[in-house]
Amino acid sequence: MAIEAKNYEDLLGLEGFSDQLLQNHFTLYQGYLANTNKLDDILKQYLQYGKVAAPEYAELKRRFGWEFNGVRLHEYYFGNLVKGGSELDPKSKLLEKIVIDFGSLENWEKDFRATGVIRGIGWVILYYDSATDRLFNTWVNEHDVGHLSGALPLLVMDVFEHAFMIDYGLKRADYINSFFKSLNWAEVATRFTTCLCCR
């Protein structure tokens, strides 16, 4: 069964993000989705016809992770943005955990922002690892490289050029400021609460 696209057009008009940038980003997301579904169909055909030893099968199998993660990471990213932003509830379990693991919300944010301006392209992800009961701000270089196995993404920031260059050129720190102004902390806190329930 094909993965269905989610609609994020309610983000149009988001402060600090031009509609052109967002529309381009939505189109990119749709491309990852189309390629994920296409690869899934092709891989099923290879399996059905017993061609799993073919070099093409191996390369398509490797590519699948890139396309699939391109879909999911964008869904996390768009999902943790909201017009006007929202504050992190001072009584939330997430804030409590951030303070335990980073010393303060300010320390966490400083680390997250510093991770976001690392030279290169990729993603910045606040992960929760239930095995160690810890939060980590992590740099993920490519969609399919650098993820923390078993850890669950709570907050995802895209730092590929397509996420900011139309509006900000090389001023990634300015983009990160706009990202923080539009953070949907309620969604991020819900993701954390869901993680705790699944332990």
Q: Is 162 annotated as a binding residue?
A: yes
Q: Is 143 annotated as a binding residue?
A: no
Q: Does residue 160 belong to any structural domain of this protein?
A: yes
Same-domain check for residues 107 and 64: no
The token duo for 75 is 């869904």
**Is 47 a member of any domain?**
yes
- Read off the CATH number of the domain in which 66 is found: 1.10.287
Query: Is 147 one of the annotated binding-site residues?
Result: no
Residues spanned by the domain of 39: 18-79
Residue 74 lies in a domain: yes
In Å, how far from its chain's centre is CA 94?
18
Assess if residue 3 is contained within a domain: no
Clarify whether residues 111 and 156 are in a common domain. Answer: yes
Q: How many domains does the chain have?
A: 2
**In sequence order, what are the residues at sequence separation of 6 or more whose Cβ sits closer than 8 angstroms to the Cβ of residue 98?**
104, 105, 108, 135
Predicted TM-score (pTM) of this structure: 0.94
pLDDT by residue, tens only, the chain of 199 residues: 789 999 999 999 999 999 999 999 999 999 999 999 999 999 999 999 999 999 999 999 999 999 999 999 999 999 999 999 999 999 999 999 999 999 999 999 999 999 999 999 999 999 999 999 999 999 999 888 888 998 999 999 999 999 999 999 999 999 999 999 999 999 999 999 987 766 5
23/68 same-domain check: yes
Q: Do 26 and 123 belong together in one domain?
A: no
d(CA 54, CA 37): 20
